[in-house]
Amino acid sequence: MNSPRPRTQREISAGGLVLSASDPSLVALISHRNRGGGRDWVIPKGHQERGEDLELTAQREVYEETGIEAEVVSKIGEISYSFRLGSTRIQKTVHHYLLRQVGGDLNHLGDPTGEVLKVSWFPMSELENVLAHENERKVAQQALEMLS
């Protein structure tokens, strides 16, 4: 007997690295709980809403997760990957932008959904050692190259 093919669902997210208005060598990252129960530092990002362009998604998600109002400077790139969630295969594409803080302050209490545990500024030069995921470390490296 053949097992049923997993259902495939596509997801699109956007977010990015936000440069501090007071010190452009600093970027905001969020800490969230990983599947193993530990904490990871990651780039703020989230799902695109219906009718929203990707730049607006990045700005909204950054604000919701960090409390920072930001404008898009340029697109860094995108990463695509897939994973299984139960019997569903998720094919996800995340669009990353370089953003500049134009207002707001870090929300150290996290977002109201409870997804974000902590928000903090980190030197761009330390992201290689701080970011939990290899694909996000590559995005950070691309951003550093764009800025130099």
Q: How many domains does one find in the chain?
A: 1
| 98 class by beta-carbon count within 10 Å (0-12 exposed, 13-18 middle, 19+ buried) | buried
Q: Take residue 34 and report the two structure tokens written for it.
A: 């990983």
Is residue 82 within 8 Å of residue 100, measured between CB atoms? Answer: no
pLDDT > 70? residue 38: yes
Other C-beta atoms within 10 Å of 55: how many?
A: 16
Question: How confident is the model at residue 69, as a pLDDT?
Answer: 96
Instruction: Please report whether residue 97 resides in a domain.
Output: yes
pLDDT > 90? residue 57: yes
Q: How confident is the model at residue 35 (pLDDT cuts 50, 70, 90)?
A: confident
Instruction: Please report whether residue 53 resides in a domain.
Output: yes
101-117 pLDDT, tens digit per residue, is 999 998 755 556 677 88
**Considering only 47-51, 78-82, 102-106, 113-117, which range has the smallest mean pLDDT?**
113-117
Instruction: Please report whether residue 1 resides in a domain.
Output: no
Other C-beta atoms within 10 Å of 15: how many?
A: 28
Instruction: Please report whether residue 2 resides in a domain.
Output: no
Instruction: Please report whether residue 142 resides in a domain.
Output: yes
**Considering only 6-15, 17-26, 70-79, 104-113, which range has the smallest mean pLDDT?**
104-113
pLDDT > 70? residue 148: yes
Question: How confident is the model at residue 146, as a pLDDT?
Answer: 92
Provide the β-strand partners of residue 61.
none
Q: What CATH number is attached to the domain comprising 105?
A: 3.90.79.10
Q: Which domain holds residue 102?
A: 7-147
Question: How confident is the model at residue 108, as a pLDDT?
Answer: 56
pLDDT higher at 54 or 112: 54
Scanning the structure block, which residue is given the tokens 């490296």?
A: 141
Instruction: Please report whether residue 140 resides in a domain.
Output: yes
Question: How confident is the model at residue 132, as a pLDDT?
Answer: 95
Question: How confident is the model at residue 107, as a pLDDT?
Answer: 75
Question: How confident is the model at residue 123, as a pLDDT?
Answer: 97
Instruction: Please report whether residue 76 resides in a domain.
Output: yes
Instruction: Please report whether residue 34 resides in a domain.
Output: yes
